[in-house]
């Protein structure tokens, strides 16, 4: 498994169970060695974040690509704060990639551990 594939596994763990059950994700090649996150039917969103294979921020980048794919292709707002009605965005705390709430500006969980976050 490549570092990107491991990062994808980490991000998939945070998806709602019904999305995980319904969809398969893979990396699709774009231009200039860029990679996009794609659905099982080949759909992907190229308008936002993209991946390059030599980044040290794999988990954060894959999480941002997953957010774009959810929002722009599946029209799912993901993830949302369990305490507020706000979406979460990718941030870093102590060099770890985390989900941060836009309202209240608190860290909800490390990326990959969202389902362990207290609600
Ligand atoms: Zn919140």
pLDDT digits (tens, 9 = 90+) for 49-66: 677 666 677 999 999 999
CA 53 – ligand 1 centroid, Å:
32
Question: What is the number of other CB atoms lying within 10 angstroms of the CB of residue 28?
Answer: 16
CA 78 – ligand 1 centroid, Å:
13
| Least confident range of 31-40, 80-89, 93-102 | 31-40
CA 66 – ligand 1 centroid, Å:
20
Which two tokens mark 51?
């991946």
What is the arithmetic mean of pLDDT over 73-94? Answer: 92
Beta-bridge mates of residue 88: 101
CA 118 – ligand 1 centroid, Å:
11
Tell me which H or E stretch contains 43: none
The share of the chain scoring above pLDDT 70, in percent, equals: 93
CA 106 – ligand 1 centroid, Å:
6
Measure Cα distances from 83 to 16, 29, 31, 53, 89 in Å: 16, 37, 40, 35, 15
Rg of the Cα atoms in the chain: 14
What is the arithmetic mean of pLDDT over 24-44? Answer: 88
């Amino acid at each position: 498994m490549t570092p990107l594939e491991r990062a994808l596994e980490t991000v998939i763990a945070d998806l709602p169970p019904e999305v995980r059950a319904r969809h398969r994700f893979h990396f699709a090649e774009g231009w200039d060695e860029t990679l996009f996150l794609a659905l099982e039917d080949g759909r992907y969103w190229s308008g936002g974040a993209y991946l390059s294979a030599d980044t040290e921020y794999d988990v954060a980048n894959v999480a941002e690509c997953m957010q774009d794919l959810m929002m722009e292709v599946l029209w799912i707002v993901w993830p949302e704060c369990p305490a507020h009605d706000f979406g979460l965005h990718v941030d870093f705390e102590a060099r770890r990639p985390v989900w941060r709430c836009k309202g209240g500006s608190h860290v909800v969980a490390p990326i990959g551990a969202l389902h362990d976050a207290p609600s």
